[in-house]
Amino acid sequence: MDMINPSCGVERDPRGVARLTICNAGSLNILGSAAISGIREGLEALAAERDLRALVIAGQSDKSLIGGADIKEMARLNQMSAEAFITRLRDLCEAVRAFPAPVIARMPGWCLGGGLEVAAACDVRIAAHDAKFGMPEVRVGIPSVIHAALLPRLIGWGRARWLIMTAENIDAPTALAWGLVDTVAPSGGLDEAVEHTVDALLECGPQALRAQKALLRQWEELPLKESVDLSIGVFGKSYLTDEPKRLMQGFIDRKR
């Protein structure tokens, strides 16, 4: 594993798949300011790699993806430093959301608070069979903010309200039923489930996938008619690459 900085290690394979590992953040992969900035730095470096086809985000410890933001650090904040702290976390989540290639969250154990916000910013969430999820902020005197705003879009307003306002945790089957995660792996099968999704992504045109991700991000924010009309130009631009001709011809040839 290549260390971009003390908080962020990267492994690449010949297929164009990278794994970003959150390092030196304790057994629960807790995010303090140094880790937040380090992981964002790693994401920004990887985002510049045009040949990257997929990114997996994982924790060094299998007890969690991210166990949350550092409460010991947050307990010392005032209004000004609190806004600076949450802005750093916002920028990390946005670096995930804006990452040009598909991003998979590998989710063993716990994923809480700011960790769930990072996961919500990923494109695909794959959980272990015994994973647990929650938004505990209101129990420690702060609201859930920034990319918690993605939760109503993922799981609906009623479930998002329940998760954020009760601070109760949910298990992996519940998270799957709600749409908070996309896959729950059987016991011992988390990496195999991640690899299955990676394989599916690698079957797709890499430029088409990047265009699709950018469109989906815009669809989250634009009215329907603008979303529809915007996509016409994106469709046309896909023909500036060789992907449509090459991949469609391959499909035609297989059907003969």
Shared domain for 108 and 21, answered yes or no, is: yes
Q: What is the CA radius of gyration of the chain?
A: 19
Beta bridge partners of 79: none
- Write down which residue in 183, 202, 221 finishes a domain: 202
Residues 103-108 have a mean pLDDT of 98
What are 164-175's pLDDT values in tens digits? 999 999 999 999
Task: Give residue 74's pLDDT.
Answer: 97
Shared domain for 167 and 113, answered yes or no, is: yes
Shared domain for 182 and 111, answered yes or no, is: yes
Shared domain for 107 and 221, answered yes or no, is: no
Separation in Å, CA 143 to CA 114, 148, 160, 161, 188: 11, 10, 13, 12, 35
What are 14-72's pLDDT values in tens digits? 999 999 999 999 999 999 999 999 999 999 999 999 999 999 999 998 999 999 999 99
Instruction: Look up the pTM and report it.
Output: 0.95
CB 195 within 8 A of CB 166: no
Give 47's contacts (C-beta < 8 A, 6+ positions apart): 95, 98, 99, 100
CB 128 within 8 A of CB 107: yes
Shared domain for 83 and 176, answered yes or no, is: yes
Shared domain for 227 and 182, answered yes or no, is: no
Shared domain for 102 and 10, answered yes or no, is: yes
- Write down which residue in 175, 202, 229 finishes a domain: 202
User: What residues make up the domain containing 165?
Assistant: 2-202
What are 108-155's pLDDT values in tens digits? 999 999 999 999 999 999 999 999 999 999 999 999 999 999 999 999
Shared domain for 79 and 147, answered yes or no, is: yes
Shared domain for 211 and 84, answered yes or no, is: no
Shared domain for 233 and 175, answered yes or no, is: no
Handedness of CA 131, 135, 137, 139 (dihedral sign): negative
Catalytic residue list: 117, 137
Sequence letter at residue 2:
D
Give 186's contacts (C-beta < 8 A, 6+ positions apart): 129
How many domains are there within the chain?
A: 2
Residues 224-244 have a mean pLDDT of 95
